[in-house]
């Protein structure tokens, strides 16, 4: 019997004592209560704050991205308008340049025409003056020559002029190749 009692008193290491089971349940209950009342709410609060921060960050990032996209579109629109305006200004400058060139060309042609007309007028006046001078000289020479041929001086100037004028007029009316 002693061996039976000794065998009963030896405890199986796989089966705990009932007091250890009860004590473990009480400690587990206290730990569960502490974790549930103080630790879990703090974790949940930290988790909620972190989730809110992430969601807020995402929302702010989306808003910032939308603002950046709107700013980019506005910039591109302004750039397109600026390019259009620059193109319009270039076209106006080309048109103004062409108009100025055409105007200057017209002025130059008008000035050239005026100079040519003035030169023709001046040449005609000089020609008439030269003809008058030549007539006078030819008349004087003709009178002197006629006076030498005749042997007497032709003193009447009015008569001299009429004779010389008539002679020169006959010469002008006569064709160039025909002799008298």
The pLDDT, as a whole number, for residue 162 is 77
Residue 143: CB atoms within 10 Å: 20
Distances (CA, A) of 38 to 24, 41, 42, 72: 21, 6, 7, 50
> For residue 147, what are the contacts with CB-CB under 8 A and spacing of at least 6?
153, 154
DSSP 35: I
The pLDDT, as a whole number, for residue 99 is 93
Q: Hey, where are the domains in the chain?
A: 18-128
The pLDDT, as a whole number, for residue 113 is 93
Side-chain half-sphere CA neighbours of 26 within 13 A: 6
Segments in the chain below pLDDT 70: 1-9, 11, 147-148, 150-156, 159-160, 176-180
The pLDDT, as a whole number, for residue 132 is 81
**73 phi, psi to nearest 5 deg:** -65, -40
The pLDDT, as a whole number, for residue 3 is 55
The pLDDT, as a whole number, for residue 148 is 67
The pLDDT, as a whole number, for residue 76 is 93
**And the tokens for 161?**
């002029």
The pLDDT, as a whole number, for residue 98 is 93
> For residue 180, what are the contacts with CB-CB under 8 A and spacing of at least 6?
174
The pLDDT, as a whole number, for residue 177 is 61
């Amino acid at each position: 019997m002693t061996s039976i009692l000794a065998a009963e008193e030896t405890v199986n290491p796989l089966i705990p004592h009932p007091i250890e089971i009860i004590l473990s349940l009480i400690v587990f209950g206290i730990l569960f209560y502490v974790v549930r009342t103080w630790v879990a709410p703090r974790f949940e609060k930290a988790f909620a704050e972190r989730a809110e921060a992430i969601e807020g960050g995402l929302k702010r990032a989306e808003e910032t991205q939308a603002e950046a996209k709107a700013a980019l579109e506005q910039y591109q629109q302004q750039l397109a308008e600026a390019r259009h305006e620059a193109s319009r200004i270039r076209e106006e400058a080309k048109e103004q340049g062409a108009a100025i060139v055409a105007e200057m060309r017209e002025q130059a042609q008008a000035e050239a025409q005026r100079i040519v007309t003035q030169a023709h007028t001046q040449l005609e006046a000089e020609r008439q003056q030269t003809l008058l001078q030549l007539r006078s000289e030819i008349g004087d020479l003709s009178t002197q020559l006629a006076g030498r041929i005749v042997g007497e001086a032709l003193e009447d100037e009015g008569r001299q002029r009429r004779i010389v004028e008539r002679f020169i007029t006959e010469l002008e009316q006569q064709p160039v190749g025909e002799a008298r």
